[in-house]
Amino acid sequence: MFMGLSGNQYRPLSKDQIEAIHETSLRLLEKTGFGYEDGLDDVISELEAAGIKNDAVKRRLTFPREKIDAAVQKAPDQVILYSRNGKYDLDLGEHRVYLGTGGAAVRILDLESGTARPTTLKDLYQLGRLADYLDNIHFFLRPCVPNDIPPEAYDSNVAYSCLKSTGKHVMVGVNDVNGMIQAHRIASLVAGGDEKLREKPFISMTSGYCISPLKLCSEPMRIILESAKRGIPVALSSAPMSGSNAPMTMAGTLAQVHAEQLAGITICQIVVPGSKSIYGAIPGMADLSSMRYVGGAIEHGMMNAAIHQMSNHINVPNYNSCGLTDSKLPDIQAGWEKAFTTMLVAMGGSNFIHHAAGMLESLMTVSYEQYVIDNEIIGYVCKAMKGIDVDPEHLALEVIDAVGPGGNYFTQGHTLQHLRSEFCYGFGLSDRSSREKWEDAGSKDARERAREITRQVLEKDEVSYIPDPVDKKIKEEFNILI
């Protein structure tokens, strides 16, 4: 298992470029400002009292830079997202990297037929079990939207299914404040009380508080603030697309989304000082010929790697995105698009990278077997991040001297000692057998091998991460449909 390795090997922005983007963002917030929807009167009043200027006629907030600087200083430079099994605690900070699931897909490739169908609550639960098993998937963020449950039961059932299926950290996305309260209540029951959950939050919250460009969305903003008040870490998600709701240029998109993040962090720290705010910019690209989101673009990886540099500039941990593809199935295109963006963003040092496993068709579709494939990709990326050990033991001077000219190392104890740690054999999926053995085994490609692994995992006895007495209590309070 590779987890929490240090990135920052890939830095697409120079120090001067980071400063230029940051300065542009400050000027945007001072001059252009931020719009807002109805329903935020109490928040606006708090901001005005703190020195944020409000033009009520234009419905525009402007942020003096000294207020931004003061608020950002209050934001923690380290956020720990806990797991319940203790193995997968995520220490966000510096350049430590964690990769996991995410999304809101409405379709899934059926494991047996391979055809796309609507996602269900059972799919969400089974994907949680699969992610729980795969070591290189470090956390679980709801990857799909169940289409088979009524809207009023959505938030409670999604939170329950995620928490029941995995002991890894769960990030939750909800529809409204009431849904956030339901998810918090379920997590509190599992934790053994509100204070225990506050002490070691094994759930966090993400919400798209910002309508790009530069406008507060009222209900998601309320979700963020209510979560923060309860001690739940919050990822301030804003996801502009270059050429659509952000400038066509990558630098312009980065300046806009950085401004959106500075505003979100400032608001959180004014309303809930010291709240666990996570810088949540996930810039993307739009294909202007079709106006569709382009998840597999190489620029997606470049910009999201740059985002870590921007968040690191203000010393706030970040939430990020990689591993997307525009392919409709687990094929070669999916492989190269996922590998490129995952490598760039992880080696950029981003802290909490969602969408890294399972996604197809630019977030519209998920695939069971793609999680197994992406677990392999993430493992290789993490191996590259780990780097090369150079010390007397690894330099092997004495071994080379003992073997001498023309010898070999097959029988050396040094070879056996380092065989597994030096060479990455894969994580159960990659085939390195001879053609003859491969043909004898059925000439299966990576997708079919991933299907077989998935079936084996899902046929195992279920591990329930919610004890029976707590499970009963939850089902007494909520209409659980799984």
Task: Encode pLDDT of 90-132 as tens digits.
Answer: 999 999 999 999 999 999 999 999 999 999 999 999 999 999 9
CATH topology assigned to domain 5-13+73-386: TIM Barrel (3.20.20)
The domain locations on the chain are 5-13+73-386, 392-422
pLDDT at 140: 98
Q: Are strands 352-354 and 96-99 parallel, antiparallel or unpaired?
A: parallel
pTM as predicted:
0.96
**Per-residue pLDDT, 443:** 97
pLDDT averaged per 10 residues, the chain (length 482)? 91 98 98 96 97 96 98 97 94 96 97 96 98 97 97 97 98 97 98 97 97 97 98 97 96 98 98 98 90 89 98 98 96 97 98 98 96 97 94 96 95 92 88 95 96 97 94 98 93
State the Cα–Cα distance between residues 51 and 64, nearest whole angstrom. 8
